[in-house]
Chain A
Amino acid sequence: DAKTTQPTSMDCAEGRAANLPCNHSTISGNEYVYWYRQIHSQGPQYIIHGLKNNETNEMASLIITEDRKSSTLILPHATLRDTAVYYCIVRDNSGYSTLTFGKGTMLLVSP
């Protein structure tokens, strides 16, 4: 699976949009981009995933660039409860592969 690069940490004011970037320049055609988050020692929580098109659900939006070499997870109105480590993971869904977690981005949402 392709490797991802994320900033170590980011800050966001409560109520503002949080935009979390992820680089995955070696992504291949079969690989999806997954986002999970982990709130202090809780189990990782699935957020969203996508292949080429932008995706939106009740939690977030995922914007994938046309060349698929990078993506951005958008939390439209961040709250204090969104403070967590966010993991961007590239995974091949066509065959078999597990989730490989990196260090992620620590997002701190402040009042």
Chain B
Amino acid sequence: DSGVTQTPKHLITATGQRVTLRCSPRSGDLSVYWYQQSLDQGLQFLIHYYNGEERAKGNILERFSAQQFPDLHSELNLSSLELGDSALYFCASSVALSDTQYFGPGTRLTVL
């Protein structure tokens, strides 16, 4: 158990819908990262927040957005969902900017 929690574990929705994935970092960690893992693309970095501020963006679509709240939990919002958005979404946390990242168990999103 890494100490990072993610909800929900599974999410099934339809194309065109919007969903929110939630991540709670390990106690004391200020950084939260989001990753997407699909069958054809592997694990890809989406976005990083540090202490409430966006610090880096990776291969994140414009339909996707994220935020980190004052209590340091983070939410990843996915809108106008497409079949290709079906994937595992992981968040990770670290103490500061470049420390070791610890991953949560992930949310499996299925878009029908």
Is A68 in the interface zone, CB < 8 Å from B? no
Within 8 A of B (CB), among A13-61: 34, 36, 38, 41-46, 49
**B97: CB under 8 A from chain A?**
yes
Among B13-21, B64-72, B74-82, B100-108, the one that faces the other chain is B100-108
Q: Which residues of A lie under 8 Å from residue B90 when comparing CB positions?
A: 43-44
Say yes or no: A98 contacts B56, CB within 8 Å: yes
| Contacts known (A98-B33, A101-B42, A101-B43); A46 close to B100, Cβ less than 8 A | yes
Binding site for B on A (CB under 8 A): 34, 36, 38, 41-46, 49, 87, 91-103
Q: Is the beta-carbon distance between A43 and B42 smaller than 8 angstroms?
A: no
A42 to B6, CA, bound (A): 12
- Interface hits, B1-53 → A, CB 8 Å: 2, 4, 33, 42-45, 48
- Evaluate contact between B98 and A96: CB separation under 8 angstroms: yes
Chain B residues with Cβ under 8 A from A93's Cβ? 98-99
* A91 shortest CB reach to chain B, Å: 8
> B56, A43: Cβ atoms under 8 Å?
no
- If over half of A's interface residues share one DSSP class (helix, strand or loop), that class is named, otherwise mixed; here it is loop
Q: A96-B56, A98-B45 are in contact. Are A43 and B33 (CB under 8 A)?
A: no
Q: Are B4 and A43 in contact (CB under 8 A)?
A: yes
- Complex CA gap A70/B31 in Å reads 30
Contact, CB under 8 Å: A44 / B45 = no
The reply to whether B103 and A43 form a contact with Cβ atoms under 8 Å apart is yes
Cα of A94 to Cα of B42 in the assembled complex, Å: 26
C-alpha spacing A10/B69, complex, angstroms: 43
Determine how close the nearest CB of chain B comes to the CB of A5; give it in whole angstroms.
15
Complex contact B33–A44 (CB within 8 A): no
Known: A41-B88, A43-B2, A44-B90. A99 touches B45 (CB 8 A): yes
Closest chain B residue, CB of each to CB of A99: B101
